[in-house]
Each structure stands twice: as C-alpha cells, then as structure tokens.
Chains A and B, each alone.
Chain A
C-alpha cells in the first residue's frame, strides 16, 4: 500500500503542476486558433462620438497617432478599415467635435493620422481609438503615453468578424 505524504514540498510541487496544466489549458486553444482578437480597453469608449468625418489631419496637427489593423486568426492585414481617433489635445477637450477625426487603413493594414498634441486629462495622457464599422466586432482602445512629452502614440487592432 502506498501512502501519500503530505508535506510542503509535495504540496507545492503538486500545486505547481496543477497550476501549469490549468494555465496552459487556458492559453493553448488561443494559440491553436492563431492571433487572438484585441479586447476593448476599460474607458476606451468614453466621450466617443459616432461618425466623425474622415480627415487628412485633426486640427493643426503636430502629433502622430498610428497603428495597424489585422484579422484575428491568421493576422492578415485589413485594408480600408475606418479607425476613429479622439483625445484631449491642445486644441480641444475630449468630447468636443473638433477633437475627433477618422482615417482609413492602407493596403498593409496600417493607419497614421496627424492630430494636435495630446495632453494629460483625468490624470493620464492618453488617446482613444475606435473600430466601429459593423463588419467586425467593435473595439475601443485607450492607449496611454509613457510621458506627456511624447509626440506620437500607437495602437493596434486585431479584429474578429461579427
């Protein structure tokens, strides 16, 4: 007859292996299906205004918002996707219409829109981006600048079909 010895080392080893199995079990399916879709960030949709116009530049510019839009699974670039961008800048507050604009991704799924300098609002210098065109599930992002002095910010979308 075998006796199960319960001591701290055994418990830790057993607990560790259960944890490893459980975590990898949670992670593996996502790997099997390829690139996971980007979830919306908390607060991402705050002060969103639907249907901002596609513009060459928001306001007088001076700050660059850029990123990519890819398809979940195979990670293929999504061209011609409308990304809306807004932030509290030196030219207006977040909710004001002049702080909003939209742009389209190029054939590589990349987008880049010039906008006024973002400044800290509600305690963090951050921007807002939305994909909200219907073909894929809506995603709202809220990237934070490492420093308020930076003059560019990036955000990347991985979208899944509706």
Chain B
C-alpha cells in the first residue's frame, strides 16, 4: 500500500472519531454543567469512538500495523474502552446519584438508559473473559463466538443509547459516528465467517496466531 493511501485511511479514522468530540466540545450545554458531568459525557463519546477502532484493529484494516500489533492494540483499546465506561458511569453517579441508581436498576424513566447499562455489562463481560479465557481453558472458537455475540450487544446497545440521549453530542456528527460503528462491526463480523463454517480458513488462522 502506498504511503498516501495509508495516510488517507488513518486521517479518515481520526476525522470520524475527532469531529464528533470537537462538535460536542462546542455544545452550548457545557456552559451549564459542572466539570465532573462534562468528563462523564466525554468519556461516553470517547468510548463510542473506540468502538469504531476496535473491529478495524482486529480485522487488520488499519495499514501499517502487523497482525500481531493490531491484536495487541485491540487488547489495549478494549481495556481503555472498559475504563472509559467506568469513568462515564462513575462521573454520572457523582453528578446525580439517584438518576444513576435508577439507570443501573433498570427503573429509569429515560428510554436510553437500559441500552447503555446492558452494553456496559457486555463490555465488562468481554474484558473479564479476555483476561481469564486462557486460565479457563476456553477453546478459541468458543471464545470467538462468545466475544462476537457480546460485541453485537455492545454495538447495538451503545448506538441506540447514544442516538436516544439528548446531550452534548451534535446530532449529525453523532449519527455519522453511530453509522460508522455499526458498519465497521457488520463488515468485520461478516468477514470472519466464524458462525458460518466450522474450520473456515480465516478463523483457524486467526485462532492459531
């Protein structure tokens, strides 16, 4: 791949993630929010951005990264995603404890809350499974199917959550990021074929790495 192509791909990814963040940074709502609440909002936006990077990393769509380094980066970004969610929920809890407790117990009046909470548990589940799967002796195929099902829950839950929330994110850039997150997840999952055929070449080759 030529250098120009590499640069274009990375620039496009940076734009897709950074434009929504910049647009949110210009939100008039920020003027009436405390610092902790602002941090909570941006942690959520960053988490959504990381969700776009994750499938691209593991599928090797990002040029300049070897398969090994892409995998390592996928692990680190996954950890960062879990941390971002902890910051998002923790800072919202500090901002308004009763609202956060309602959300976590699925008794919130806001329709977007359960989607976010379910996605949160799915993210924690993937992080935990990724950390202990070798100790548990999980077969690569079992792990991959489990991870993929949880990834579907994470992506769908997060996108619906983000779309329904009326917050600092600007509407068009939010919708665009959500479409990209969905598209990347669908494209990568369709390419893996892990659920279609046992022993398909690509799955086996990734599992053996």
Knowing A95-B96, A119-B29 touch, does A148 contact B166 (C-beta < 8 A)?
Answer: yes
Q: Cβ of A43 and Cβ of B29 under 8 Å apart?
A: no
Knowing A47-B96, A123-B167 touch, does A42 contact B107 (C-beta < 8 A)?
Answer: yes
**A8-16, A55-63, A86-94: which lies at the interface:** A86-94
Shortest Cβ distance from A86 into chain B, in angstroms?
12
Give the number of residues in A that approach B within 8 Å (Cβ atoms).
Answer: 23
Knowing A88-B32, A120-B29, A122-B110 touch, does A46 contact B166 (C-beta < 8 A)?
Answer: no
Interface residues of A (CB under 8 A from B): 41-47, 88-90, 93-95, 119-125, 142, 144, 148
Shortest Cβ distance from B166 into chain A, in angstroms?
5
Interface residues of B (CB under 8 A from A): 29, 31-32, 34, 37, 92, 95-96, 98-99, 102, 107-110, 112-113, 164-167
Q: Cβ of A46 and Cβ of B99 under 8 Å apart?
A: yes
16 contacts between A and B (CB under 8 A): A41-B109, A42-B107, A43-B109, A44-B109, A47-B96, A47-B98, A47-B99, A88-B32, A93-B96, A95-B96, A120-B167, A122-B92, A123-B110, A124-B166, A125-B166, A148-B166
Shortest Cβ distance from A105 into chain B, in angstroms?
25
Shortest Cβ distance from B15 into chain A, in angstroms?
26
Q: Cβ of B98 and Cβ of A90 under 8 Å apart?
A: no
Distance between Cα atoms of A56 and B209 in the complex (Å):
71
Shortest Cβ distance from A107 into chain B, in angstroms?
33
Q: Cβ of A94 and Cβ of B102 under 8 Å apart?
A: no
Distance between Cα atoms of A62 and B206 in the complex (Å):
61
Residue of B with least CB distance to A44: B109
Query: Which one of B31, B32, B98, B164 lies within 8 Å of A123 (CB-CB)?
Result: B164
Contacts of A122 in B (CB 8 A): 92, 96, 99, 110
Shortest Cβ distance from A131 into chain B, in angstroms?
18
Query: Which one of B108, B165, B166 lies within 8 Å of A42 (CB-CB)?
Result: B108
Knowing A42-B107, A46-B98, A122-B110 touch, does A90 contact B32 (C-beta < 8 A)?
Answer: yes
Q: Cβ of A123 and Cβ of B165 under 8 Å apart?
A: yes
Shortest Cβ distance from A141 into chain B, in angstroms?
11
Shortest Cβ distance from A134 into chain B, in angstroms?
23
Shortest Cβ distance from B43 into chain A, in angstroms?
15
Query: Which one of A45, A93, A123 lies within 8 Å of B112 (CB-CB)?
Result: A123
Contacts of B108 in A (CB 8 A): 42-43
Contacts of B34 in A (CB 8 A): 93
